[in-house]
Amino acid sequence: MKSKNNNIIKMVLTVVAMFLFLFGWIGGFISGLSSMDSVNSQKYYKQYPLNEKNGIAVDSDSNIYIGEGQTGSIQVYDSTGNFQYGFGFPTGGGGWFAFGIKEDRIHIVTARTDSYFIFDKGELVYSEKEIDYKRSEELQAEYNMTYKKSFFKGNKTYKISSRNTVSIKDKLNGKVERIHLKVPIWPFSFKIFHNIASASMGLIFILHHKFFLSLFKGTKKE
């Protein structure tokens, strides 16, 4: 009886693991397709999750700019964490980019598409293509561009966490203010789907390790 119950539990767990594997694999495939510059060079008001944070900047009105690597875009939040708008630019399908801010204009360089963009309040005002490595380095230095999760403005340091919280530390008095960005959770990032698929495969291997080991031994003998 106990053995029968164990087999039923094993079968149920196997079905669940297979479902999660398919969910992770299909979801990852769709998520990967959606990252192919779906918001190219346009201002948008449909909010996307911050699945791959790629830099942070703050303007003179305390609006917070967060780079989003999966969609190749920057999303703008007000000083209380409410989404305002976003704007995209071609990165070659989730390619690397860095950005900085000067006089409230956002300056961006991309690696995969070798481009330089300037946005003013979400509107593209200048673009330059086929920039070389030296030009890219000069622009990054001139506009203090970064892809990191910290930004320095006066006496304050802004940091974006994995939980979509921006901490603002005042260097003079040591006080820390936190702003929680109101960000949707769905759809998950490619990495999350990949982790779901990997974990489910691990569970399947644990449940049926004897079978897989026998296959391995049989292959080794041949």
Task: Indicate the pTM of the whole model.
Answer: 0.77
In tens digits, the chain (222 residues) has pLDDT values of: 667 777 888 888 899 989 998 888 887 776 665 554 455 668 899 888 888 899 999 999 999 999 998 888 999 999 999 999 999 998 876 678 999 999 999 999 999 889 999 999 999 999 999 999 999 999 999 999 989 999 999 999 999 998 899 999 999 999 999 999 999 877 676 778 888 889 999 999 898 888 878 877 665 555
The pair of three-digit structure tokens given for residue 162, joined into one six-digit string: 């994995």
Q: Please report the pLDDT score of residue 31 as a whole number.
A: 65
Query: Domain limits of the chain?
Result: 2-34+189-221, 43-149
Taking domain 43-149, whether its CATH number is 3.40.50.300 is answered by no
Token representation of residue 87: 């704007």
Closest CA to 82 of 100, 101, 63, 61: 63
Within 10 angstroms of residue 107's Cβ, the number of other Cβ atoms is: 21
Verify cis geometry, omega within 30 degrees of 0, for the bond prior to 187: yes
Q: Encode pLDDT of 12-44 as tens digits.
A: 889 998 999 888 888 777 666 555 445 566 889
Is residue 86 within 8 A of residue 39, CB to CB? The reply is yes
Q: Are 78 and 67 in contact (CB under 8 A)?
A: no
